[in-house]
Structure 1
Amino acid sequence: MNTTPIIPALDLIDGQIVRLYQGDYNRQTDYGADPIARAQQYAAEGAERLHLVDLSGARDPAARQTALITHLIAACPLPVQIGGGIRSSADIDALLTAGAARIVIGSLAVKAPATVQNWLATYGGDRLILALDVHPGADGHYYVAHNAWQEGGQQTLSDLITAYQPHGLRHILCTDISRDGTLQGANTALYRELHTAYPELNIQASGGIGSLDHIRALDGSGVSGIITGRALLDGRITLKEALTCWPNA
Structure 2
Amino acid sequence: MIIPAFDFLDGKAVRLYQGNYLNKKFYDINLYERFIDYKKKGVKIIHLVDLSGTKNIANKQLSFFKDIIYCTQIPIQIGGGIRTEKDINTFFELGVKRVILGSSAITNKNAVKKWLKIYGSNKIVLALDINIINNIKKIAINGWLKETNSTLEEIIDFFSSENLKHVLCTDISKDGTLSGPNIILYEEIVKKFKHIKFQASGGVSKLSDIIALKKTGVNSVIIGRSLLEKKFTIKEALECWPNE
Same fold (TM over 0.5): yes
Q: Which residue of 2 aligns with 1:199?
A: 194
What are the superposed Cα offsets for residues 57-103 of structure 1, whole Å, 9 maximum, x if unpaired?
22233322222212211211111000001111111000000000000
Q: Which residue of 2 aligns with 1:122?
A: 118
The amino acid that maps onto 1:23 is: G
Q: Which residue of 2 aligns with 1:23?
A: 19
Q: Is 1:157 paired with 2:152? A: yes
Structure 1 window deviating more from structure 2 (89-98 vs 213-222): it is: 213-222
Q: Is 1:188 paired with 2:183? A: yes
What are the superposed Cα offsets for residues 185-225 of structure 1, whole Å, 9 maximum, x if unpaired?
11111111111111111110000001101111112211111
**Unpaired segments ≥5 residues, structure 2:** none
Cα distance in 1 for partners of 2:212, 2:153 equals 23
Number of aligned residue pairs: give it.
244
The answer to whether the 8 Å contact 2:55/2:143 transfers is no
Cα distance in 2 for partners of 1:85, 1:39 equals 24
Cα distance in 1 for partners of 2:240, 2:199 equals 18
The answer to whether the 8 Å contact 2:200/2:218 transfers is yes
Cα distance in 2 for partners of 1:40, 1:186 equals 28
The answer to whether the 8 Å contact 2:55/2:142 transfers is no
> Structure 1's 217 and 247: CA in aligned 2 closer, same or farther, altered over 3 A?
farther
Question: Which of residues 41, 65, 78 in structure 1 aligns to 2:61?
Answer: 65
Cα distance in 2 for partners of 1:202, 1:155 equals 21
Cα distance in 2 for partners of 1:247, 1:126 equals 22
Q: Which residue of 1 aligns with 2:218?
A: 223
What are the superposed Cα offsets for residues 21-50 of structure 1, whole Å, 9 maximum, x if unpaired?
111111111112643333233222321110
Taking structure 1 as the reference length, what is the TM-score of the superposition? 0.93
The amino acid that maps onto 1:31 is: Y
| Cα RMSD after superposing both structures | 1.5
Taking structure 2 as the reference length, what is the TM-score of the superposition? 0.95
Q: Is 1:13 paired with 2:9? A: yes
Cα distance in 2 for partners of 1:112, 1:122 equals 15
Q: Which residue of 2 aligns with 1:246?
A: 241
Cα distance in 2 for partners of 1:239, 1:211 equals 12
The answer to whether the 8 Å contact 1:102/1:126 transfers is yes
3-state SS of 1:178 partner: helix
Structure 1 window deviating more from structure 2 (69-78 vs 121-130): it is: 69-78
The answer to whether the 8 Å contact 1:175/1:206 transfers is yes
The amino acid that maps onto 2:209 is: H
The answer to whether the 8 Å contact 1:126/1:171 transfers is yes
Q: Which residue of 1 aligns with 2:172?
A: 177
3-state SS of 2:44 partner: coil
Cα distance in 1 for partners of 2:6, 2:238 equals 17
Aligned ranges for residues 70-89 of structure 1 at < 5 Å? 70-89=66-85
Q: Which residue of 1 aligns with 2:105?
A: 109
Aligned ranges for residues 90-109 of structure 1 at < 5 Å? 90-109=86-105
Identity over aligned pairs, percent: 41
Once the two structures are TM-superposed, the CA of residue 142 in structure 1 deviates from its matched residue by: 1.5
The answer to whether the 8 Å contact 2:15/2:26 transfers is yes
Superposition misfits of 4+ residues, deviation over 4 angstroms: none
Once the two structures are TM-superposed, the CA of residue 146 in structure 1 deviates from its matched residue by: 1.1
Cα distance in 1 for partners of 2:47, 2:111 equals 23
